[in-house]
Amino acid sequence: MNNNDFNITGGDPSLYNEDLAPLPLSERKWGSFEIFNVWSNDIQSLFGYTLAATLFVTSGLNGWWVFAAIILAGLIVMGLVNLTGKPSVEYGIPYPVIARAAMGVRGANFPAMVRGIVAIFWYGVQTYFASTAVAMLIYALFGGKEGGTFLGLTGVDWIAYLFVSAFQVALFMRGMDWVTKFLNFAGPAVYAVMILMALYIWYAAGNELFSALGAIFEPAEGSTSGLLAFLGVVGTMIAYFAAVVINYGDFSRFVKSPAKMRMGNFLGLPVSLALFSFLTMWTTAGATVLFGETLTSPAEMVAKVDSVFLTLIAALTFFGATVGINLVANFIPPAYDLANLAPSKISARTGGLITAAIAFFIGALWVTAISNMGIPVFVDTLGAVLAPLYGILVADYYLVHKGKLDLADLYSTDPDARYAYSNGWNKRAFIAFGIAAFFSVLTVHVPMLQALSGFAWIMGAILGGGIHVFLSRQAAIETPGMAPAE
């Protein structure tokens, strides 16, 4: 059925609102450029830069192998999001609705909320880090770094934090068209600044830059450059994108065609990652020449240069990059996820406001409390939980339902509807999830399995998907009437 002709205004109010409804082709305005900028903004964060620089410096591999591993990770992530993005392009529906086919119309609330919890947490944290860029600019222009603090933040820090919090919400409230305009501006602008910075560093460092590059591209003394180290870099980079990979349908539903989505993914992942990694490597080497030490954080580099102009450029760049990734990875997903809990009462806009409210306190408490509470283990655990969900959703769409969904039944609580399962819950999917998630979580918490942590996401996804397909086919054999949609 062509979803442009499909009217679900009569769908169950507990499963339907305009934000969760199929988006007709006439309202899809995104092309390859918009998808490219989704990934550019996701890559260009302070954390993304620091991660890439750290891998070059500390992985123990020859730099060319690190570079190759990062590009390979981009190709793998491209393949993963091509799989999760296709059904949302085909039917125009977001991730929480896609999840109903595998988990059940009620059970889909679980994967939606797991993804939402991760996103809300990181939204608060990234809002704080974006505010540090604004505070850095205010300090450079007006001073005021000395003084009393509340929750570890000075008065200027609080002004910056409130500004960034309000800016992000205001942008989201203007609608996806405004979010798209910001992403389309921020993605290319950040790359332009990074290229200018790389050229400036080349000018300042001179030919010594090439000697430093040679040092980065040599393995650390006494290290062994093996396959496991190479795969570990690949796995780390895949894990970096894991959260966006699972809910990529929240963005691909705005794309005009699968071909434009695939081209945008190609330009935005392996190509953009290669450019970003090269600029990161170049800037890191130049900083080593200029400052006599290896710096993996852009903020540390700026702090060592007494230049208001450079601070202004850096602050605007950090601000744009961090707000960009926050909107892409951490704000829009939980807005849809919360709307999926009670569609008749919560719109995506209301879900966004709830997200911002909760995240505000997370970011405000980051300095004095949350950053000291072992949060990385908590987040790593939630990330390990996301992997089996990805495998289950993809395997269900392509292998169980053969790439075809019944849109009407995705919004129906009728006991005879295809995705009603058992009171809205697909027990087989949850059994597959439980087994696979148990394994993934063990790699985070059991020391003897932590060597597998770099591969935990891939293994968890394959295990979850494989068990789900097996159980679904067994059920189809035992109950012929349960054959998937044709």
Q: What is the pLDDT of residues 259-278, one digit of tens each?
A: 999 999 999 999 998 888 88
* pLDDT score of 62 more than 80: no
Where among 331, 350, 373 does a domain terminate?
373
**Where in the sequence is the domain holding 399, given as residue range(s)?**
374-486
d(Cα 273, Cα 71) in Å, to the nearest integer? 6
Give me the mean pLDDT over the 280-299 stretch: 77
The b/e string for 238-274 (b: 16+ C-beta within 10 A; e otherwise) is: bbbbbbbbbbbbbbbbbbeeeebbbbbbbbbbbbbbe
- Phi-psi map region of 258: left, alpha, beta (phi>0 left; psi -120 to 50 alpha): alpha
Q: Are residue 367 and residue 382 in the same domain, yes or no?
A: no
Q: Give me the pLDDT at residue 392, please.
A: 95
Phi, psi angles (nearest 5°) of residue 175 = 105, 170
**380 and 358 inside one domain:** no
First to last CA, the chain: 11
Beta carbons of 82 and 265 less than 8 angstroms apart: yes
60 in a domain, yes or no? yes
Q: Cα dist. 221→57, 215, 218, 291 in Å?
A: 12, 11, 9, 22
The band of 384, judged by pLDDT with boundaries at 50, 70 and 90, is confident
User: Do residues 294 and 69 touch, judged by C-beta distance below 8 A?
Assistant: no
Across the chain, mean pLDDT equals: 82
| % of the chain with per-residue pLDDT over 70 | 85
Q: How confident is the model at residue 299 (pLDDT cuts 50, 70, 90)?
A: low
CATH number for position 124: 1.10.4160.10
How many Cα atoms sit within 13 Å of 139 on the Cβ side?
21
- Are 57 and 96 found together in one domain? yes
What is the average per-residue pLDDT within 445-451?
72
CB-CB contact of 355 with 123 (8 Å): yes
- Whole-number pLDDT of residue 144: 65
Q: Are residues 124 and 71 in the same domain?
A: yes
Encode burial over 205-219: b for 16+ CB neighbours within 10 A, e otherwise. beeebeebbeebbeb
Determine the average pLDDT of the residues in 76-88.
Answer: 94
Instruction: Name the nearest CA neighbour of 486 among 404, 408, 400, 399.
Output: 404
Given this model, what pLDDT does residue 35 score?
A: 92
Tell me: pLDDT of 247 over 60.
yes
Is residue 422 classed as helix, strand or coil in its secondary structure?
Answer: strand
What total number of domains does the chain contain? 2
Confidence category of residue 82, pLDDT binned at 50, 70, 90: very high
SS (H, E, C) 424-455: CECHHHHHHHHHHHHHHHHHHHCHHHHHHHHH
- pLDDT average, residue stretch 51-57: 77
Residue 8 within any structural domain of the chain: no
Domain identity same for 122 and 261: yes
DSSP-assigned letters across all residues of 238-258: HHHTHHHHHTTHHHHTTBS-H
| pLDDT computed for residue 478 by the predictor | 57
DSSP string for 468-483:
HHHHHHHHHHH-GGGP
Q: Which residue has the tokens 């009670």?
A: 342
What pLDDT was estimated at residue 429? Answer: 94
Residues 242 and 152 in one domain: yes
Same domain, yes or no: 361 and 438:
no
Contact 97, 260 (CB under 8 A): no
Phi-psi region for residue 144, left (φ > 0), alpha (ψ -120 to 50) or beta? left
Residue 80: what pLDDT? 94
Identify whether 295 is part of a domain: yes
In a domain? residue 2: no
Within a domain: residue 201? yes
Mean pLDDT value of segment 476-484:
55
223, pLDDT greater than 60: no
Are 240 and 184 part of one and the same domain?
yes
Exposed / middle / buried, residue 226 (Cβ in 10 Å: 0-12, 13-18, 19+): exposed
As to burial, measured by CB atoms within 10 angstroms (0-12 exposed, 13-18 middle, 19+ buried), residue 143 is exposed
| Residue 447 exposed, middle or buried by CB count within 10 Å (0-12, 13-18, 19+) | exposed
Helices (H), 206-297: 208-216, 227-240, 242-246, 249-252, 258-266, 272-291
Q: Is residue 66 predicted with pLDDT exceeding 70?
A: yes
Q: State whether 171 and 309 are in the same domain.
A: yes
> What is the rounded CA–CA span in Å between residue 227 and residue 436?
25
Asked if residue 118 and residue 193 are part of one domain, the reply reads yes
CA distances from 24 to 174, 176, 254 (A): 21, 15, 9
Instruction: For residue range 330-374, list pLDDT tens digits in order.
Output: 888 888 888 888 887 888 888 888 988 998 998 888 777 766 655
Structural domain contains residue 219: yes
Q: Give the pLDDT score at 483.
A: 45
pLDDT in tens, 392-439: 999 999 999 999 999 989 998 888 889 999 989 999 999 999 999 998
How confident is the model over 108-125, as pLDDT tens digits? 999 888 888 888 888 888
Q: What whole-number distance in Å separates Cα of residue 120 and Cα of residue 345?
A: 20
**Among candidate residues 373, 408, 442, the one where a domain is terminated:** 373
- Phi first, then psi, for residue 294 (nearest 5°) are -85, 120
pLDDT level of residue 76 (50, 70, 90 thresholds): very high
210 within domain boundaries = yes
pLDDT at 104: 94
pLDDT at 48 over 80: no
pLDDT tens digits, one per residue of 149-194: 777 788 888 998 999 999 988 888 887 788 888 888 887 887 888 8
CA distance 447 to 465: 26
Tokens of 311: 């601070």
Distances (CA, A) of 238 to 71, 234, 242, 323: 11, 6, 6, 21
Examine the domain organization and report whether 239 and 123 are in the same domain.
yes
* pLDDT for 252 beyond 80: yes
Verify that 406 and 423 share a domain, yes or no. Answer: yes
Does residue 1 lie within any of the structural domains? Answer: no
Phi, psi angles (nearest 5°) of residue 149: -130, 155
What confidence category does residue 218 fall into, taking pLDDT thresholds of 50, 70 and 90? low
* Residue 486, pLDDT above cutoff 50: no
Domain boundary among 373, 388, 418: 373
Q: What is the pLDDT of residue 87?
A: 94
Alpha helices in 27-150 (DSSP H): 32-43, 46-58, 63-91, 95-103, 109-142
| Residue of higher predicted confidence among 119 and 223 | 119
